[in-house]
A = this chain, B = another copy of it.
Amino acid sequence: MSRPNAASDKTVRRRGRDARRLARSERNTVSQPYIVRNIPPSEILDEEGLALIEGNAETVLQETGIEFRDDDEALALWRDAGADVRGERVHIPKGLARQLLSSAPSQFIQYARNPRRSVRIGGNATVFAPVYGPPFVHDLDRGRRYGTIEDFRNFVKLAYLSPAIHHSGGTVTEPVDLPVNKRHLDMIYSHIKYSDKPFMGSVTHPDRAADTVAMAEIVFGKEFVAGNAVTLNLINANSPLTFDDTMLGALKTYARAGQATIITPFIIAGAMAPASVAGVLAQALAEGMAGMAFSQLVRPGAPVVFGLFSSTMSMQSGAPAFGTPEPTKVILAAAQLARRLGVPFRSGGSLCSSKLPDAQAAYESAQSIWPAVMGGVNFVLHGAGWMEGGLSSSYEKFIMDADQLAMMEVLAAGIDLSENGQAMDAIAEVGPGGHYLGCAHTQANFETAFYRSTVANYESFEQWQSEGSLDAATRANGIWKEMLSGYQPPVMDPAIDEALRAFVENKKASFPDSNI
């Protein structure tokens, strides 16, 4: 089959090619800020099932209770709200958590320093963010090694350059070459400097949360930050049924500053929750409802997101297993439970246990990205780059995952039912036994009709072989290097950059390095 003919006039053709090339390069930097879903969310439970799970969560909160550890203020807030507090155990009477949650917004905007990059969290919006947390990085050239601030900046840059990644994320890798008590400063600065997409704040200490807010105030202005979410912050529960003072401290700091939090039970089923899907759901919903309700006690109206991160446990080795089908069901049902509560929902994105960017990694990642997209998840963390059970950020997998995320944008856009989409004239024009290559509709649509993968190879076996029989990971290796070598930082007001650097330097000088 030959390439459809372009216009016959050479000049027109060249001008058309230039315009198309420009349009393609624009697509690479000016992405859609977030996905507005045009397909209904898939469901796995009916209303009866959802009510059963939520009822169970409320029973757990009332009967078993949930612990808020080493935080007298938290216990006092709960006591004042009408909970039955015994020691550090908070028994939340049925109905109270839901009642407190009524002040939480069902959706909100997280602002980016580039207003065109601001994202909506909730409703029919879906936002993809990169991997969060790995202490290691992995690439095909150097294998697996500890992450550094250079790796951190590289992943920020790659996320910035990826059209279907809407968010700069948070700990894209741990920069373990920097002291634990100061590295958050370089991390936040890197997100602001090397990207103009929205980002996540530090949650490892209340002071680091406060530093995040202070740096955001330099960028957005104090007044704007007080009234708007400019950071999104990951608060994990210690499952089962416990919040510790570190996370509670960060939660309080962010909620008081009007910043958004994601309350996420982090569950290995069989270890931190029952070895059953409905059991995981009831416990996680109890934890999420308690944490989100607490955010509303701290500041009614503070933006808050229900998150759920679950894997199964290999019942033989005790290791967590990603890419198994039970967490897939958890994601679909939890997204429904969040909609029923009227809060945005966050899940994992492209999770895997594989130690390589191989077929295992891809199959496993599908087990979390597909239910996230089909289930209508609002904020998808770990959308790209997660490898080895979250221990490694993989350069090659980042590229391959990002390609998949772009395909998910196409899927979530639904089916174009416009006259052009219906293509009835084309069917009539071509008729039985004809072909569509040269018809007017194809000519008008061929540039944009189908998603073009950045990684996949569609060539013939012989051509592919003649080019070295490369696998997908090897092609991705070339792509991330090319992206980084062509990276240009987004514009930033030099005065703001200066002020941020000064803040970071002053902070670093004000107390000694420590790795605790």
Binding site for B on A (CB under 8 A): 1-4, 39-40, 42-46, 49, 52, 56, 59-60, 63-67, 89, 144, 238, 240-242, 269-279, 281-283, 312-321, 323-326, 328-329, 333, 353-367, 370, 374, 388-389, 391, 397, 400, 403-404, 407-408, 410-411, 414-417, 420-424, 426-428, 430-437, 441-442, 445-447, 449-453, 455-461, 464-465, 469, 471-473
Complex interface: chain B residues within 8 A of A452 (CB)? 314
From B318, B366, B423, give the contact of A3 (CB < 8 A): B318
18 A-B pairs within 8 Å (CB atoms) are namely A1-B313, A44-B414, A60-B427, A60-B428, A240-B432, A271-B436, A275-B445, A275-B450, A276-B416, A278-B417, A282-B423, A319-B458, A321-B450, A325-B411, A326-B451, A362-B362, A362-B366, A370-B370
Contact A428 B362 (CB under 8 A): no
What is the CA–CA distance of A282 and B43 in the complex, to the nearest angstrom?
27
What is the CA–CA distance of A436 and B298 in the complex, to the nearest angstrom?
32
Complex interface: chain B residues within 8 A of A4 (CB)? 315
Contact A316 B354 (CB under 8 A): no
Looking at A281, A323, A414, A456, the one whose CB has the most chain B CB atoms below 10 A away is A456
What is the CA–CA distance of A363 and B59 in the complex, to the nearest angstrom?
41
Measured between C-beta atoms, what is the minimum distance from A106 to chain B in Å? Answer: 23
Complex interface: chain B residues within 8 A of A397 (CB)? 359
From B317, B329, B422, B457, give the contact of A414 (CB < 8 A): B329
- Nearest B residue to A460 via CB reads B319
Complex interface: chain B residues within 8 A of A426 (CB)? 274, 279
Contact A473 B271 (CB under 8 A): no
From B39, B270, B460, give the contact of A449 (CB < 8 A): B270
Known: A421-B276, A432-B240. A329 touches B451 (CB 8 A): no
Complex interface: chain B residues within 8 A of A66 (CB)? 432
What is the CA–CA distance of A272 and B52 in the complex, to the nearest angstrom?
49
Contact B67 A433 (CB under 8 A): yes
From B45, B312, B366, B416, give the contact of A370 (CB < 8 A): B366
Contact A458 B273 (CB under 8 A): no
Contact B434 A240 (CB under 8 A): yes
Measured between C-beta atoms, what is the minimum distance from A131 to chain B in Å? Answer: 16
What is the CA–CA distance of A428 and B65 in the complex, to the nearest angstrom?
9
- Nearest B residue to A244 via CB reads B433
Contact A282 B56 (CB under 8 A): no
Looking at A275, A282, A437, A447, the one whose CB has the most chain B CB atoms below 10 A away is A275
From B241, B318, B367, B400, give the contact of A432 (CB < 8 A): B241
Measured between C-beta atoms, what is the minimum distance from A357 to chain B in Å? Answer: 6
